[in-house]
Copies of this chain bind each other. A is one copy, B any other.
């Protein structure tokens, strides 16, 4: 199994990506293709190279920045690490691809280079929500901001397949993000999608899920339109970060508080770990003709390692082939 890794993506530079990828490759026993500017990659590779990992470097002269316009960058920079890593997939030189780069650009380049799976009209960006006791795969997070009802049905099918194969949940529960639990709640789109999901034979649809419950782990797959899904996941992120800020401010106001907070450090760390995206690794881009995992831009080594391990699993379980079969049957 060979995993192509975009060595230039992410906020922390190639060193974090390369070392994380090596860790993931060692843990999962796969080969690595590191894609990016060769000198920068070679500079951060350990010397001597660990003998137990097969690493190939593929040179990519360009880098797509986080701020660039995704579709334009993907088109105008064929020599970017994202495009060239996806090319490795396209040419069957790699079984899966991981990038912590500009997620919109990964998506646009994947569409351009790999294309869609037959029967899937629009791909979706998914992510794992750090819920209290379980994982919830939420999709779409911004790929399709004005979806049609049948797009959301396709998202539900893809999400259920992913949860079944990768999370190994037998009959994954699928929910629909809405402004109330009752079937009559929702905007026009959600009200149209609800009955379609309810009659979908391959899906264990449990109904509408309200915003307050998305982190409770009540479903395995949470379907949303890309606009609302994007707002929801960012509100969750922003709320967590604001609460952490307030907590930190309050805990450091006086010496007694600082001391007590020090004693609670293990509790805070354990809390952080339970909610940490790094434990989760990459989020799949579902519906494109290739196994693509997008890692958070903030990814540390551990997150990249987990994304590589996840990519291996996605390739092994042949998620894309299962999606293709389901899509062509519908």
Give A residues with C-beta under 8 Å from B.
131-132, 142, 145-146, 177-180, 186-188, 190, 210-216, 225-228, 230-243, 245-247, 250-251, 253, 256-257, 259-261, 263-264, 266-268, 270-271, 274-275
Bound complex: CA A227 to CA B186 (Å): 7
Contact partner of A274 (CB less than 8 A), chosen from B246, B266, B274, is B246
Cβ–Cβ contact A268 & B250, under 8 A:
yes
Contacts of A242 in B (CB 8 A): 131-132, 215-216
Contacts of A211 in B (CB 8 A): 230-238
**Given A216-B242, A237-B212: A260 and B250 interface contact (C-beta under 8 Å):** no
Cβ–Cβ contact A226 & B142, under 8 A:
no
Pairs of residues from A and B, 5 with the lowest C-beta to C-beta distance, nearest first: A211-B234, A212-B238, A260-B263, A179-B230, A239-B239
For the complex, would chain A's binding face be called helix, strand, loop or mixed by DSSP majority?
helix
Contact partner of A241 (CB less than 8 A), chosen from B212, B238, B245, B257, is B212
**Nearest-neighbor residue (CB-CB) of A233 within chain B:** B211
21 contacts between A and B (CB under 8 A): A142-B180, A179-B227, A210-B231, A210-B234, A211-B233, A211-B234, A211-B235, A211-B237, A212-B238, A215-B238, A216-B242, A227-B228, A228-B228, A231-B232, A239-B239, A239-B243, A240-B243, A250-B270, A251-B267, A257-B267, A261-B264
